[in-house]
Amino acid sequence: MHIMEGFLPPMHALGWTAASLPFLAWGLRAIGRDLRAHPERRMLLGVAAAFAFLLSALKLPSVTGSCSHPTGVGLGAALFGPAAMVPVGFVVLLFQALLMAHGGLTTLGANVFSMAIVGPLVSYGVLRAVAALGFSRSVAVFLAACLGDLATYVTTSAQLALAFPAAVGGFEVSFLKFAGIFALTQVPIAISEGLLTVLVVNAMVRFNAHELRALPVMALKERA
């Protein structure tokens, strides 16, 4: 999903950066307010950031100019909500661009929009919707992490298709081509990420339930 340095046309890179900035400001305000009220959550937020950093660093070759990998943002969205994951994802992607040549500075806005904005928003929305339907915490967390991952790659496919429309068929043909290539590796990766996120959340609930109180994931009741 990390679109590499210099791959997007300059106007597209600037446009995605401009689109991401309001969400980044929203996330910074939300996370600052939350940590001032609950300073004990700093360590847990660090765990969510480390989880996203490690998983999203495990890349596989895919579409030219990009790659396939887990995103890891579903865990943070389940714990803190989507707003907190915008600055977390920004820092993760910035460090990966600077230290690992994974992504790039000119494409940082586009990568933030797909992984740190769309992914967490979809994950959190799915989490709440599935829980409201009466499914267990494990099912809700699995679908949230899995579909949030896939939504990130649908967004990246749209970004690439907008930048490089097909000569015949335009955006639609290009989008289907990028999404189809991503799907070969990303569907099994998303399923694996969903399962791993369930294991991590269940372990946290089992051993550190007192630290998770009042967080979104604790509002979901696990069935016997």
Task: Look up the CATH number of the domain holding residue 15.
Answer: 1.10.1760.20
- How would residue 149 be classed by pLDDT, with cut points 50, 70 and 90? very high
Decide if 103 is inside a domain: yes
Structurally, the chain folds into a number of domains equal to: 1
Which domain does 111 fall in, by range?
Answer: 10-218
Q: Alpha helix locations (H) across 38-168?
A: 42-56, 73-80, 82-100, 108-111, 119-132, 137-163
**pLDDT the model gives residue 74:** 94
**pLDDT the model gives residue 84:** 93
Please give the average per-residue pLDDT across 201-211, as a whole number. Answer: 81
Which of residues 112 and 6 earns the better pLDDT score?
Answer: 112
CB-hemisphere CA count at 13 Å for 120? 30
Q: Alpha helix locations (H) across 112-136?
A: 119-132
**pLDDT the model gives residue 112:** 97
Decide if 60 is inside a domain: yes
Structure tokens at 153: 């790659």
